[in-house]
């Protein structure tokens, strides 16, 4: 097992015997930002849908 630095500067664990790492080589920070961005997009879409069903304007 090795600890390696990913492209965004965060660390991840690398298992050479399996040629696998815990986080992508782009890094944990990049993964987190992508997850948050996707969550925000879904939340905004649900909010727009809910307000359109209730015939209200989102605030």
**Domain chopping of the chain, boundaries:** 2-53
| pLDDT tens, the chain, 59 aa long | 999 888 888 888 899 999 888 777 777 777 777 777 777 777 888 877 787 777 766 55
| pLDDT computed for residue 30 by the predictor | 79
**pTM of the complete model:** 0.45
**Element of type H or E holding 45:** helix 28-53
Radius of gyration of the chain (CA): 19
| pLDDT computed for residue 56 by the predictor | 65
| pLDDT computed for residue 57 by the predictor | 61
Q: Tokens representing 20?
A: 């696998």
Which runs of E-coded beta strand occur in 1-59?
Answer: 2-5, 11-15, 20-21
**Cβ of 19: how many Cβ atoms within 10 Å?**
7
């Amino acid at each position: 097992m090795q600890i390696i630095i990913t492209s965004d500067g965060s660390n991840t664990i690398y298992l050479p015997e399996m040629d696998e790492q815990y986080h992508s080589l782009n890094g944990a920070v990049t993964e987190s930002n992508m997850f948050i961005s996707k969550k925000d997009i879904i939340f905004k879409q649900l909010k727009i849908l809910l307000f359109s069903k209730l015939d209200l304007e989102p605030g």
